[in-house]
């Protein structure tokens, strides 16, 4: 506990973001930073709450409650209050390999379950987390720490997203020789290709990759296991194989006119822009350009939001984001959405703030169902036909949509981006290895154990659990490493 009355003495504050109309002119991160005195004040709001739900990391109806990597939040909040930054960094790294990632892109379920949130505004946990790790790098405290001894065991990790990197980092720490295979041309998985640069600067990703490489991890790019790297090679050359390939099979829509030109999957749009930006600062033109176009984004989640922000930076004429969900209430419904569930309330994410600043209103349209796409004489999409809906959930959890008569509408569109989630992992490697899949097509491996039906093959992250948060991927990567170490050595010291 920092001070027993801090949550009453000080108000929750967040650093101001860069002006929306300015930041849409570039691809740089949009957050500003607090001074150390301001951070100390915010750390003082963390109270002696007896049972700190902020680091419980449990799944409740409506989402995750608390931190899935069980960050020791009250401890490092107190250390920041006392000015002990180096010690705070040590506590942060004790549970989280990559706080610079979670501090930037995690939706902060820890804050949703903060006890102060019962009677006021939650502690600014995410802001403090990000500040600790950034200061650690600035001060030179974060340095390579290769293992003192090697075990002679070799492990292959397939996929270099947050789950793969966490798995590799922990296994390397245990002394195993780790090789990470990535099919893209850059390491990072969705951290590199998937999350736009204005949310997560790729220099931040590369900085950590360089550190892991200096600690002894081998990275192989342009290597798609099961395609240009035989799956048998990994089974023959390594003592264990960990599948961390993510849930990259995008969910499509079966709507009339889906084959029209200008209708794209969201990840094709986002990743094309990211790669072109990294390769040539967008000068090569190898991306879907929304400049001067009317853009419709189908999907109300994070991927759809990133599409909105990207279209704005392209210089689109207009952008609208459809969601089948209803507009959230302004305040928490304590009966249907009680603490410590993540609060389901109306908020503006960074992209919606930018669109409102540019166009004067929230770009989202709620409770909208797309009925068909209509094209012009050249096969290009020109409009969408929609209807308003009421969405309910039956006793089995299945979503039911009821159309509201008389609410049909036609929307002008030059580009349509489909961002309705992911179906699961791609099957090529899974099938070649003979790994069993569950009813949702994810790799079948028990949470906490991570072993598959195939000897020495493990799985972690979205490839095992389905599309989820970066922080859950780190959680699973760390835990899978522990189980792989136990499998290889008979015992383990990994957490």
Residues 261-282 pLDDT 10s: 999 999 999 999 999 999 999 9
Tens of pLDDT along 185-214?
A: 999 999 999 999 999 999 999 999 999 999
CA distance 168 to 175: 11
| Residue 239, pLDDT above cutoff 70 | yes
- Between 368 and 49, the higher pLDDT residue: 368
Could you tell me if 281 and 403 lie in one domain?
Answer: yes
**How many other C-beta atoms can be found within 10 angstroms of the C-beta atom of residue 258?**
14
The closest alpha carbon to 389, from 298, 324, 296, belongs to 324
Supply the pLDDT for residue 1.
59
Distance CA 47, CA 238 (A): 48
One DSSP character per residue, 240-255 reads EEEE-----EE-----
pLDDT exceeds cutoff 70 at 176:
yes
Residues 106 and 162 in one domain: no
Encode pLDDT of 102-156 as tens digits. Answer: 999 999 999 999 999 888 899 999 999 999 999 999 999 999 999 999 999 999 9
If asked whether residues 183 and 211 sit together in one domain, one would say: yes
Residue 447's CATH number: 3.50.50.60
Q: Mean of the pLDDT values across residues 331-357? A: 93
Residue percentage of the chain with pLDDT more than 70: 100
In a domain, 329, yes or no: yes
- Assess if residue 202 is contained within a domain: yes
146 within domain boundaries: no
Domain identity same for 267 and 359: yes
Query: Are 197 and 257 in a shared domain?
Result: no
Which residues make Cβ contacts (< 8 Å) with residue 331, sequence separation at least 6? 345
Q: Would you say 471 and 452 are in contact if contact means Cβ atoms under 8 Å apart? A: no
- Tell whether the model's pLDDT for residue 62 goes beyond 80: no
Is 343 a residue whose pLDDT tops 70?
A: yes
Taking only Cα atoms into account, the Rg of the chain, rounded to an integer number of angstroms, comes to: 23
DSSP, residue by residue, 82-138: TT-HHHHHHHHHHH-S-HHHHHHH---HHHHT-GGGGTSPPP-HHHHHHHHHHHHHH
Answer with the one of 108, 138, 168 that is the final residue of a domain: 138
What residues have CB less than 8 Å from 330, skipping those under 6 apart? 345, 346
Task: Give the contacts of 381 (CB within 8 A, at least 6 positions apart).
Answer: 257, 260, 261, 262, 263, 373, 374, 375, 413, 414, 415, 416
- Domain presence at residue 55: yes
> Can you give the pLDDT at residue 3?
80
| 53 SS3 class | helix
pLDDT at 247 over 90: yes
What pLDDT does 51 receive? 85
Domain edge (last residue) among 401, 420, 439: 420
CB atoms within 10 A of CB 286: 13
CB 306 within 8 A of CB 428: no
Question: Peptide bond before 340: cis, by omega within 30 degrees of 0?
Answer: yes
Joined together, the tokens standing for residue 136 give 């650690």
Alpha helix locations (H) across 106-219? 109-112, 125-138, 162-173, 202-214
pLDDT at 63: 80
Q: What CATH number did the domain enclosing 109 receive? A: 1.10.1060.10
Q: Which among 138, 172, 195 is the end of a domain?
A: 138
DSSP annotation of 328 reads: P
**Quick one: 393 and 275 in the same domain?**
yes
Would you state the structure tokens that stand for residue 157, as one six-digit string?
Answer: 């990790």
> Within a domain: residue 265?
yes
Please check whether residue 321 lies inside any domain of the structure: yes
Confidence of residue 48 (pLDDT cuts 50, 70, 90): confident
- Our count of domains for the chain comes to 3
Of 236, 229, 238, 226, give the one whose Cα is nearest residue 179. Answer: 238
- Classified as helix, coil or strand, 426 is coil
Mean pLDDT, residues 82-87 taken together? 97
Same domain, 288 and 413: yes
Q: Are residues 388 and 259 part of one domain?
A: yes
Per-residue pLDDT of 378-437, as tens digits, reads 999 999 999 999 988 888 878 888 999 999 999 999 999 999 999 999 999 999 999 999
Cα(456)–Cα(340) distance, rounded to whole angstroms? 38
Domain carrying residue 127: 6-138
In a domain, 282, yes or no: yes
Question: Same structural domain for residues 361 and 443?
Answer: no
Calpha distance 200→60 (Å, rounded): 28
Q: Which two tokens stand for residue 334?
A: 């304590």
Do 125 and 168 lie in one domain? The reply is no
Does 18 lie in the same domain as 90? yes
**Residue 148, in any domain of the structure:** no
Q: Is the domain of 119 the same as that of 219?
A: no
């Amino acid at each position: 506990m920092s001070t027993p009355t801090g949550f009453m003495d000080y108000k929750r504050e967040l650093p101001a973001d860069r002006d929306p109309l300015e930041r849409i002119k570039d691809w740089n991160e949009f957050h500003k930073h607090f001074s150390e005195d301001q951070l100390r004040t915010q750390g003082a709001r963390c109270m002696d709450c007896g049972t700190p739900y902020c680091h419980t990391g449990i799944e409740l109806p409506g989402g995750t409650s608390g931190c899935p990597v069980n960050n020791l939040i009250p401890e490092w909040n107190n250390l920041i209050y006392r000015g002990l930054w180096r010690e705070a960094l040590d506590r942060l790294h004790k549970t989280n390999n990559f706080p610079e990632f979670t501090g930037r892109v995690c939706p902060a379920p820890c804050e949703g379950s903060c006890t102060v949130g019962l009677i006021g505004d939650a502690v600014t946990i995410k802001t403090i987390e990000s500040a600790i790790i950034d200061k650690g790098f600035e001060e030179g405290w974060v340095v390579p720490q290769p293992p003192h001894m090697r075990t002679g065991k070799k492990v292959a990790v397939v996929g270099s997203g947050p789950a793969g990197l966490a798995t590799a980092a922990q296994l390397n720490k245990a002394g195993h020789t780790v090789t990470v295979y990535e099919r893209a041309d850059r390491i990072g998985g969705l951290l590199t290709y998937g999350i736009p640069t204005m949310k997560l600067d790729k220099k931040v990703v590369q900085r950590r990759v360089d550190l892991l490489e200096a600690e002894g991890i081998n990275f192989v790019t342009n290597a798609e296991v099961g395609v240009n790297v035989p799956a048998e090679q990994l089974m023959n050359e390594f003592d264990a194989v960990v599948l961390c390939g993510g849930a990259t099979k995008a969910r499509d829509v079966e709507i009339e006119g889906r084959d029209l030109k200008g209708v794209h999957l969201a990840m094709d749009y986002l990743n094309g822009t990211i790669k072109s930006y990294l390769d040539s600062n967008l000068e090569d033109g190898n991306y879907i350009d929304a400049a001067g176009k009317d853009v419709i984004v189908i999907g109300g989640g994070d991927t759809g939001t990133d599409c909105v922000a990207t279209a704005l930076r392209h210089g689109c004429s207009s952008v609208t984001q459809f969601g089948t969900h209803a507009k959230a209430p302004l305040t928490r419904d304590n009966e249907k959405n009680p603490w410590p569930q993540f609060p389901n309330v109306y908020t503006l994410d960074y992209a919606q703030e930018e669109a409102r600043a540019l166009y004067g209103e929230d770009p989202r349209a709620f409770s909208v169902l797309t009925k068909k796409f209509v094209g012009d004489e050249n096969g290009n999409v020109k409009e969408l036909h929609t209807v308003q809906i009421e969405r309910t959930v039956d006793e089995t959890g299945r979503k039911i949509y009821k159309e509201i008569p008389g609410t049909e509408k036609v929307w002008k569109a030059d580009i349509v981006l489909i961002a309705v989630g992911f179906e699961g992992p791609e099957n090529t490697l899974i099938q070649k290895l003979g790994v069993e899949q569950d009813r949702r097509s994810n790799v079948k491996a028990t949470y906490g154990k991570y072993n598959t039906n195939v000897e020495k093959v493990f799985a972690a992250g979205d490839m095992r659990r389905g599309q989820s948060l970066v922080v859950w991927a780190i959680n699973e990567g760390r835990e899978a490493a522990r189980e792989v170490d136990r499998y290889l050595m008979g015992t383990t010291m990994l957490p």
